[in-house]
Amino acid sequence: MSKKQTLDHPHFLKLFKKEGILSIKEGNGKVITLMSPDKWRSEMGNDWIYLLFDIFQIRSICEQYSEVSLDIVEFASKPTIYHSKPNRVIPEGPLINDTLKFSLIREPNWNKLLFQISKPTLVKIATEAKADVKTDLLFPLFSPGTKEMYLGAEGDVKILKG
């Protein structure tokens, strides 16, 4: 019988809340860095992805979406990174070609950690940072089946990586 894989939520959350940034070595041995969006600076680069725990958080980072676009996010069966126009009210953030990237994380353990952080959180995947903590749990966006799509506010959809 294999050991159940989980995250040490209280420990990870305490470290994240203290500094607003946390590097985690996940189950594949790759390091991801979680960061509060208010800590982001342009010199940190634009290859960050907003992580969401709930579909309603999209409104806080992106322009108003059509029902079609929301349905695509809500019913996606595989990990997906979406590219969309940012909400005009969000402060400066990591943009590439005037779009931001986000992903709705459904894996229960990672979702719970994001829920406890309680706001959209930036992640940089496969960083060179030294890990603060580690887990045996795999980070969902490292899946070979991870897709990338552009979603427009008017319902326009473009598959970038299938």
Q: Residue 144's pLDDT is what?
A: 81
Q: Kindly state the average pLDDT of the residues 131-148.
A: 91
- Lowest average pLDDT, out of 111-120, 132-141, 142-151, goes to 142-151
Banded pLDDT at 112 (limits 50, 70, 90): very high
Query: CB of 113 within 8 A of CB of 8?
Result: no
| CB burial of residue 39 (10 Å; 0-12, 13-18, 19+) | exposed
| CB burial of residue 161 (10 Å; 0-12, 13-18, 19+) | exposed
Q: Which phi and psi (to 5°) does residue 90 adopt?
A: -75, 145
Three-class secondary structure assignment of 93-143: CCCECCEEEEEECCCHHHHHHHHHHCCCEEEECCCCCCCCEECCCCCHHHC
Q: Residue 94's pLDDT is what?
A: 92
Report which of 151, 162, 161 is spatially closest to residue 70, judged by C-alpha positions.
Answer: 151
For residue 46, CA distances in Å to 56, 67, 69, 96 come to 24, 28, 24, 6
Going along the chain from its start, the domains and CATH numbers come out as: 9-161 (3.90.870.10)
Taking each helix axis from N to C terminus, what angle separates 9-19 and 108-117, rounded to the nearest 10 degrees? 40
Query: CB of 83 within 8 A of CB of 101?
Result: yes
Q: Residue 1: is its pLDDT beyond 50?
A: no
What pTM value is reported for the model? Answer: 0.91
> Rg for the chain (alpha carbons), in Å?
15
Terminal CA-CA length for the chain? 35
Q: Kindly state the average pLDDT of the residues 99-115.
A: 95
